[in-house]
Amino acid sequence: SQQGEEDPQALSIQEGENATMNCSYKTSINNLQWYRQNSGRGLVHLILIRSNEREKHSGRLRVTLDTSKKSSSLLITASRAADTASYFCATDARGSTLGRLYFGRGTQLTVWP
């Protein structure tokens, strides 16, 4: 299936360190999105990167996209305890139903004070 797969499944770091999460997918996409979910809550959209973009920044977030390798990475710089959450990548698939997103299982990030 098209769904994204995040790696690693879990990541534990100290405050101030950088956190890097990766996502791989299978078919051609229009765009790739990253979401964050605090425990038991809804997902919150973080950033969208289009297939013709290679890198995008938003505050402490940096997203890269390599369409030749069908992969993306999310970098959170100078992490804080409040960044503790699950992070999901979501992709569409060219030709699929408009609006349909495929989510992975997520990376559980824990940032220790």
Partner 1 sequence: ETGVTQTPRHLVMGMTNKKSLKCEQHLGHNAMYWYKQSAKKPLELMFVYSLEERVENNSVPSRFSPECPNSSHLFLHLHTLQPEDSALYLCASSTQGLAGGPLEQFFGPGTRLTVL
Q: Least distance to partner 1 from the beta carbon of 19, Å?
A: 21
Tokens read off for 45: 């959209």
Counting residues that bind partner 1 (by CB under 8 A) gives: 27
42 binds partner 1 (CB under 8 A): yes
Helix, coil or strand: residue 82: helix
57 binds partner 1 (CB under 8 A): no
The span of 18-26, 62-70, 74-82, 88-96 binding partner 1 (CB under 8 A) equals 88-96
Q: How far is CA 91 from the centre of its chain?
A: 10
CA angle 10, 49, 5 (to 5 degrees): 30
Residues 63-82 that bind partner 1 (CB under 8 A): none
CA angle 105, 34, 48 (to 5 degrees): 150
Q: Least distance to partner 1 from the beta carbon of 85, Å?
A: 13
